[in-house]
Amino acid sequence: MQTVNTLLISAIKETENLKQGEVFLLRDLFKGYVWNRIPRSHRLLLGTLFLNHVNTSKIQIQAIEKTSSGQQKYVVIVREKIVLSD
Provide the residue count of the chain.
86
Residue 86 lies in a domain: no
Pairing of the two strands 72-76 and 23-25: antiparallel
41 within some domain: yes
CA–CA separation, 57 vs 1, rounded Å? 27
In a domain, 25, yes or no: yes
The answer to whether residue 84 sits within a structural domain is: no
**Residue 51 included in any domain:** yes
The 10s digit of each residue's pLDDT in 30-39 is 998 999 999 9
Domains in the chain: how many in total?
1
Residue 65 domain-assigned (yes or no): yes
Q: What is the DSSP letter of 15?
A: G
**Based on the number of CB atoms within 10 Å of its own CB, is 74 exposed (0-12), middle (13-18) or buried (19 or more)?**
buried
pLDDT over 70 at 85, yes or no: no
**Domain membership flag for residue 83:** no
Q: Kindly calculate the radius of gyration of the chain based on its CA atoms and give it in whole angstroms.
A: 13
pLDDT, tens digit, for every residue of 35-60?
999 999 999 999 999 999 999 998 89
Answer whether residue 85 is part of any domain: no
Which residues are paired to 73 by β-bridges?
Answer: 25
Residue range(s) defining the domain that contains residue 26: 4-76
